């Protein structure tokens, strides 16, 4: 679904499971910090709005989006009580191919974690052409992709729970 015209913060609360018993991890990349902090706030608020308590949210920071993969893997291994993890980053296109390698690496890496580990990892990495696009999607005119990721994390936590029975 295209994000143009869609407010990333909007969701139907009646379709989101009650999350008060769930535990979440959030890994935040420090590159483009003004964007990733906005995304973190969106994700955190969405979890809280749906009943998650502060004590059930653990946050780790990493230097850049490329490091999200390792940290999410370590989080899966060391906090097996978590119900879902949200990986937050912001990659902005520059003049070199670095953008392509980071985007490719992080998206494939997080996909691999979802294939090989039991705790779902939500992809909340913005991949934008410029800073304005990133601002618009991290609490600006297109809403906050962090909110969307928070809701996705709750839905995946519920799916994982239901799949056990
Ligand atoms: C090196 C780099 C560049 C050029 N751009 C970004 C970016 O836009 N967003 C981001 O999250 N990280 C970037 N990085 C850092 C890499 O993700 C990584 O931290 C370094 O390559 C070290 O492994």
Domain assignments of the chain as residue spans, ordered by start: 41-163
Inter-helix orientation angle 68-78/98-116, to 10°: 20
SS3 of 73-127: HHHHHHCCCCCEEEEEEEEECCCCCHHHHHHHHHHHHHHHHHHHCCCCEEEEEEE
Q: Give residue-wise pLDDT tens across range 80-98.
A: 999 999 999 999 998 788 9
Q: Whose CA is nearest to atom 14 of ligand 1?
A: 64
Q: What pLDDT score does 94 carry?
A: 85
Q: Give residue-wise pLDDT tens across range 154-163.
A: 999 999 999 9
- Provide the annotated binding site for 5-amino-6-(D-ribitylamino)uracil: 31, 65-67, 90-92, 123
Q: Which atom, in ligand 1's list, is nearest to the CA of 30?
A: 11
Fold annotation for 41-163? Rossmann fold (3.40.50)
Q: Give residue-wise pLDDT tens across range 94-113.
A: 878 899 999 999 999 999 99
Would you say 123 and 131 are in contact if contact means Cβ atoms under 8 Å apart?
A: no
């Amino acid at each position: 679904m295209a994000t143009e015209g869609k407010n990333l913060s909007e969701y139907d609360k009646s379709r989101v499971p009650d999350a008060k018993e769930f535990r979440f991890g959030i890994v935040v990349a420090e590159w483009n910090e003004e964007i990733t902090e906005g995304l973190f706030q969106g994700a955190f608020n969405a979890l809280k709005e749906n009943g998650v308590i502060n004590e059930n949210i653990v946050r780790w920071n990493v230097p850049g989006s490329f490091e999200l993969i390792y940290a999410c893997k370590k989080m899966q291994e060391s906090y097996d009580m978590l119900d879902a993890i949200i990986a937050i980053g912001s990659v902005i296109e520059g003049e070199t191919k670095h953008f392509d390698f980071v985007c490719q690496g992080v998206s494939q890496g997080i996909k691999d974690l979802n294939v090989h580990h039991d705790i779902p990892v939500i992809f909340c990495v913005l991949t934008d052409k410029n800073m304005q696009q990133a601002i618009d999607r991290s609490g600006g005119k297109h809403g906050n992709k962090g909110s969307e990721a928070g809701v996705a994390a709750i839905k995946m936590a519920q799916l994982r729970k239901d799949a056990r029975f």
